[in-house]
Amino acid sequence: MNPLPGQMMQMPLLISNLIRHAARHHGDTEIVSRRIEGDIHRTTYREAELRSRKFAQALARLGTQPGERIGTLAWNGYRHFEIYYGVSGSQRVCHTINPRLFPDQIAWIANDAADRVLCFDLTFLPLVEQIAPALKQVRHFVLMTDRAHMPAATTLPGLLCYEALIDAEDGDYRWPEFDENTASSLCYTSGTTGHPKGALYSHRSSVLHAYGAALPDAMGCSAADVILPVVPMFHVNAWGLPYSGPMVGAKLVFPGPFLDGKSLHELFEQEQVTFSAGVPTVWLGVINHLKCAGLKMSSLKRTVIGGAACPPAMRQTLEEDYGVQVIHAWGMTELSPLGTLSRLKARHATLPPDAQRALLNKQGRAICGIDLAIVGDDGRALPWDGRSSGDLLVRGGWVIERYFGEAGSALRELDGQWWFATGDVATIDADGYMQITDRSKDVIKSGGEWISSIELENIAMAHPAVLEAAVIACRHPKWDERPLLVVVKKPGADLDRATMLAFYEGRIARWQIPDDVVFVDEIPHTATGKMLKLKLRQQFEGHTLP
Amino acid sequence: MNPLPGQMMQMPLLISNLIRHAARHHGDTEIVSRRIEGDIHRTTYREAELRSRKFAQALARLGTQPGERIGTLAWNGYRHFEIYYGVSGSQRVCHTINPRLFPDQIAWIANDAADRVLCFDLTFLPLVEQIAPALKQVRHFVLMTDRAHMPAATTLPGLLCYEALIDAEDGDYRWPEFDENTASSLCYTSGTTGHPKGALYSHRSSVLHAYGAALPDAMGCSAADVILPVVPMFHVNAWGLPYSGPMVGAKLVFPGPFLDGKSLHELFEQEQVTFSAGVPTVWLGVINHLKCAGLKMSSLKRTVIGGAACPPAMRQTLEEDYGVQVIHAWGMTELSPLGTLSRLKARHATLPPDAQRALLNKQGRAICGIDLAIVGDDGRALPWDGRSSGDLLVRGGWVIERYFGEAGSALRELDGQWWFATGDVATIDADGYMQITDRSKDVIKSGGEWISSIELENIAMAHPAVLEAAVIACRHPKWDERPLLVVVKKPGADLDRATMLAFYEGRIARWQIPDDVVFVDEIPHTATGKMLKLKLRQQFEGHTLP
């Protein structure tokens, strides 16, 4: 019961409003894409919005209905961008699939989502031909290319050409108005155990996230920016940049499949990119290229790094050698994805550089719209003292309430409010800066104290002979669990157990030093490059600690 | 009918979430106020939020109900800030009244709003005592001070002390959750004709405005900022800064009633203010003080100037002499208030400085969430060519749908959508930059062409002998209307009709030059300092053009 309604215009928060705003107020602003074919393609927001509307018309002509899922297997490019808007704007659901997953996982996900149409880049034609027999609900396959690049022969029944679909429409289509809580897009998490689960975003949650993500203390996006999202559009909507960019009228630059350091640096320079975003691995490639070729960055001012913790050395190199400010971020698929970003407050301006860096190396502060809490083993809230470490909970308007297709809520209760348990273990300090110390299933519980596997891995990684390191919990009769270090040595490097363990002395509290080291040829990974610690734990289940 | 709802957390957009976010994530960040008493008071978001909750408890104890209006007559200060949140957060409506209006207008507004409680600063005790007999619905008068400053005697029945009310509560109060479309606050326009009309904001519209206003191309607010809103909290919620500030965790500095150049400069320097916002008149005072006293600005980086057009010379002085970036803005009470701000796009970076300034001197581009249109006399949309001038229409989630207490909509239709007619006349260029050329009721319609009264006034104002100038329409047998220039000369200055008209030669098209000049001792103004052109038109209704 509303005692007195406000008297403001009722306008639903719809994703189509973002592209309409860009087309009207930033119509000539460019969208530049490096195509699969290798050439550079240029369009504008005005043109992209028109083509999005044509794609919406095509979807209706293909017989798809509001609420149905349209799958994509595609790189960052203007056609993928148009599909984002054409699908969501016409009240269908844009389901971006990670093409780096194993083929049977991709088929499983497309079936779970009941995708009616599958749109894909030329790159993925063989992949789609391979899995097509298993795709039970797909009625139309759309190759995201022009007529000239259509294959002479294919096993796909009735393969459609994206440009032919667009050409057949007149664009006489007005974006429909509907309930802002309607599903807009779907993204599956790349779970390290079990089947992937889908996060089903709404128009409202996506638009609120776009506002939050564009704020100065988050991505800080403006029309003065040229934005190159390295993070893929199949990876949690490229962290929302295809929404925040049009919202503020930034020029967009899409790198296509060319994510190596040389290709990226070329695009940064040619298009005078000011802002980018990607995972640490990508920046490693860029830095290596810059170093080897003796190059500089002439326009890039800042980048968001997330998806995995940004090594402090990477920040230092980008900031000091290349003048690129690093903004450390944390999020997850279930958060659309942005939760926290690390930026200083006014009163930190006078801190010594080391203290500033220590803050900036944390995962950062919550964007308004997201709240954080940490809880201990007893499920009760822990203090924000920068030391107490517990399960990280979040709540907010761009956090999932349940997974796609599941009947039960994904939330838990704390102090009379509902929260999503992230599966991360973190500390929060008095200023609200959050730092991830572990994944909750990877933390080592030794005699009632928690030991961070990430911290132990970071130390091992700093040893010059270590290529990769994982720390897992091993059963222990007295302490319950104790850390075991699993190491892959660099080719030809010499390293033994005693030397490795001695390396920890003085770098961490004595009781946290691993009890043992095992050397292996390889650490198992998921398709998205995350270490499969579950497999490691199974492998070393019977390992006897000394 | 929603074909597929998204599966995200349902969290209403409530104003209480802003202060709760600030208290949790920026608890130690300061709110600094210069009090009526002249001293400096310091508090924090944590403390302010607690006191807001206590004030919410006090409102319940006083017997007020959700939906009821609580009036304020107050300067910018921490108590006014606490009342904003205590009132809106508890589902009551915060009705800020402009104390600069005439007493009978204030009484009329308080009665029209049916204010149940009236909170006011010490400054306004005599005013409230004067109008109290006319206030029919007010049940409680609250003086916003401590016990020591309560008057020994007053004619106000049962006058309450704000600090005593706060002290009586325990703060054991949780912000309620309710429909985000509930009314949050009420602000009356200072109409130049007829009675003022109220804009009744909702929680949703206020929070969306706070996100939009904090974006980099709008106010650009962050936790690295120290914000001093010169624009009063009784003037369209200080342009939303009491909402955007807590949203991003900025330090807030409130100047109280001391808005002269010297007092403001002192606060800027003492508190190391980085961002401010106010009308041109205030900046005139600041600039004069800086010039006379030979002072500089050591921390202020940028300011938003709006409420009236910012003279280009003011921008130049602030930017070139004092290093303060000027952001020209346009808005109105009916827009919460922000509509457009002037910021360059990426491709303007290479324009010559003069061309950049020409863009920045316009009122700017729409924030995403606001759309613009201009229409001609026939009610049809005009092109965005930077030349075509027409009635400015707006639509968006923080635009009013109707005025408080009115049954009919304030909107009109254009191309199947609903729009609010601003009463301004404007051009929009191809890049979306809007420039106000007139108020629609002030424009001069000469032979089917529109002549901008503002443009003619600006030229007259540039003459060294002119103190103030107004241009109004005079009936003309052939051209329908022709411009008449009304001038107040500077004391002792010499200026005649012919010299004044000759001054227009070469500065504007021949046919736009006023037909006549009349010299007067004074131009009538409203209480908020706007020229009363209606009165002027009545005064010169029978004027015969030569």
Q: What is the pLDDT of residue A528?
A: 62
**Cβ–Cβ contact B60 with A under 8 A:** no
Tell me what pLDDT residue B527 has. 65
On whether any CB of chain A is under 8 Å from the CB of B404, the answer is yes
Among all residues of chain B, which has the CA nearest to that of A210?
B211
To the nearest whole Å, the CA of A233 is away from the closest chain B CA by 19
Active-site entry in A334, A427, A489, A533: A334
d(C-alpha A216, C-alpha B233), whole Å: 24
- Tokens at residue A445, please? 């519980």
Q: Which of residues 431-460 of B touch A (CB under 8 A)?
A: 431-432
Q: Do A249 and A23 form a contact (C-beta atoms < 8 A)?
A: no
Contact at CB, A6 and B204, closer than 8 angstroms: yes
Bridge partners of residue B82, in order along the sequence? none
Cα–Cα distance measured from residue A243 to residue B226, given in angstroms and rounded to the nearest whole number: 29
Instruction: Give the pLDDT of residue B524.
Output: 87
Distance from CA of B237 to the nearest CA of A (A): 15
How far is the C-alpha of A337 from the C-alpha of A55, rounded, in Å? 26
DSSP string, A204-263: HHHHHHHHHHHSTTTT---TT-EEEE-S-TTTHHHHTHHHHHHHHT-EEEE-BT--SHHH
Per-residue pLDDT tens digits for A43-62:
999 999 999 999 999 999 99
Task: Dig out the tokens for B307 from the structure.
Answer: 């409420």
Q: At residue A252, what is the residue type?
A: L
Interface predicted TM-score (ipTM) of this complex, two decimals? 0.91
DSSP classification of residue A410:
S
pLDDT of residue B193: 56
Mutate to test the interface with B, among A1, A2, A7 (most CBs of B within 10 A): A7
Using CB atoms, which residue from A28, A401, A430 is nearest to B430?
A: A28
- Amino acid B12 reads P
AA identity, residue A445: K
Half-sphere CA count of A179, side-chain side, radius 13 A:
12
Q: How far is CA B280 from CA A349, B284, B290, B311, in A?
A: 30, 6, 15, 8
Counting Cβ atoms within 10 Å, is residue B313 exposed (0-12), middle (13-18) or buried (19+)? Answer: exposed
For residue A412, give how far its alpha carbon lies from the nearest alpha carbon of chain B (Å). Answer: 12
d(CA A208, CA A202): 10
CA B67 to chain centre: 24
Q: Which residues of A touch B184 (CB under 8 A)?
A: 6
Sign of the Cα torsion A502, A503, A509, A513 reads negative
Q: Quick check: helix, strand or coil at residue A456? A: helix
Chain A residue with CA closest to B400: the answer is A8
Q: Active site includes A291?
A: no
Task: Give chain A's mean pLDDT.
Answer: 94
In angstroms, the CA B229 to CA B252 distance is: 8
What's the rounded Cα separation, in Å, for the pair A96 and A119? 10
Q: Of A229, A240, A270, A241, which is closest to residue A40 (Cα–Cα)?
A: A270
Pair A74, A504: CB distance under 8 Å: no
* Cα distances (angstroms) measured from residue A458 to each of A309, A503, B147: 10, 12, 59
Give Cβ neighbours of residue B291 (< 8 Å, ≥ 6 apart): none
Q: Is the pLDDT of residue A193 over 60?
A: no
User: pLDDT band for position A14 (50/70/90)?
Assistant: very high
Please judge whether B216 and A178 are an interchain contact, meaning their C-beta atoms are less than 8 angstroms apart.
no
Per-residue pLDDT tens digits for A282-301:
998 999 999 999 999 999 99
Q: Do A3 and B395 touch (CB under 8 A)?
A: no
How confident is residue A447, by pLDDT bands cut at 50, 70 and 90? confident
Given an 8 Å threshold on Cβ–Cβ distance, is B7 in contact with A251? Answer: no
Q: Record the pTM.
A: 0.91
pLDDT at A467: 87
Local confidence band at A468 (pLDDT 50, 70, 90 cut-offs) = confident
| Residues paired with residue A449 on neighbouring β-strands, in sequence order | A446
Residue A374 has pLDDT above 80, yes or no: yes
Paired tokens of A326: 């690093």
If we measure between CA atoms, which residue out of B45, B44, B82 comes closest to residue B163? B82
Residues of B designated catalytic: 189, 334, 445, 450
Measured between CB atoms, does A349 come within 8 Å of chain B?
A: yes
Query: Residue A337, preceding bond cis, omega within 30 degrees?
Result: yes
Tell me which chain B residues have a C-beta less than 8 angstroms from the C-beta of A372.
25
Q: What pLDDT score does B192 carry?
A: 53
Nearest Cα neighbor of A11 from A203, A140, A152 is A203
Q: Is A527 touching B (CB cutoff 8 A)?
A: no
Q: Which two tokens stand for residue B73?
A: 């007559």
Chain A CA closest to residue B405: A7
Please determine, for residue A358, whether its predicted confidence score (pLDDT) is greater than 70: yes
Min Cα distance B223 → chain A (Å) is 5
Overall average pLDDT of the A518-533 stretch:
82
* Per-residue CA distances from B352 to A512, B212, B313, B357, B359 (Å): 61, 29, 18, 9, 11
A414 contact B CB<8A: no
pLDDT, tens digit, for every residue of B122-137? 999 999 999 999 999 9
CB atoms within 10 A of CB A96: 26
State the pLDDT at residue A280: 87
Contact list, B347 vs chain A (CB under 8 Å): 29, 251
Tokens 């215009």, located at residue: A9
Mean pLDDT of A8-34: 98
The percentage of residues in chain A with a pLDDT greater than 70, rounded to a whole number, is: 99
Angle, vertex CA B45, rays to CA B43 and CA B47, nearest 5: 60
pLDDT of residue B445: 84
**Terminal-to-terminal C-alpha distance of chain B:** 66
- Decide if B202 touches A, using CB distance below 8 A: yes
* A506 touching chain B per CB within 8 A: no
- For B69, which residue in chain A has the nearest alpha carbon? A4
Residue B468 has a pLDDT of 87
Q: Using a CB–CB cutoff of 8 Å, tell me whether B177 touches chain A.
A: no
Measured CA to CA, the distance from residue B225 to residue B301 in angstroms comes to: 10
Residue B51: both structure tokens together:
């006191």
pLDDT of residue A527: 65
10-residue stretch averages of pLDDT, chain B, 546 residues long: 94 98 98 94 98 98 98 98 98 96 92 98 97 97 97 96 98 98 94 79 98 98 98 96 98 97 98 96 92 96 91 91 97 97 96 95 97 94 96 98 95 96 95 91 82 87 89 88 93 93 90 94 78 87 86
Q: What is the DSSP string of B466-483?
A: EEEEEEEEEEETTTEEEE
* Cα angle value A363/A369/A373 (rounded, 5°): 55
Phi, psi of A22 (to 5 degrees): -65, -40
- Joined together, the tokens standing for residue A184 give 């807009």
What distance lies between CA B127 and its chain's CA centroid? 23
Q: How far is B13 from chain A (nearest CA, A)?
A: 9
Closest CA to B434 of B470, B398, B391: B391
Q: How far is Cα A41 from Cα A24, in angstroms, rounded to an integer?
A: 22
Other beta carbons within 10 Å of A215: 26
Pairwise CA distance, residues A503 & A312, whole Å: 19
Q: Is A450 a residue of the active site?
A: yes
From CA B208, how far away is CA B206, in angstroms rounded? 6
pLDDT above 80: residue A194: no
Helix (H), strand (E), coil (C) string for B229-295: ECCCCCCHHHHCHHHHHHHHCCEEEECECCCCHHHHHHHHHHCCCCEEEECHHHHHHHHHHHHHHCC
Instruction: Note whether B350 contacts A: Cβ–Cβ < 8 A.
Output: no
* B211 vs B221: CA distance, rounded Å: 10
**Which band of pLDDT confidence, cut at 50, 70 and 90, is reported for residue A477?**
confident
| A238: its two tokens | 């490229």
Question: CB under 8 Å to A423, separation ≥6 — which residues?
Answer: A391, A439, A440, A441
| Tokens representing residue B266 in the block | 């002192």
Contact B316, B294 (CB under 8 A): no
- Answer whether residue A147 shows pLDDT above 60: yes
Q: Which of B205, B217, B225 sits opposite A222 (nearest CB)?
A: B217
The position carrying tokens 């007619």 is B421
Q: Which residues of A touch B179 (CB under 8 A)?
A: 2, 5
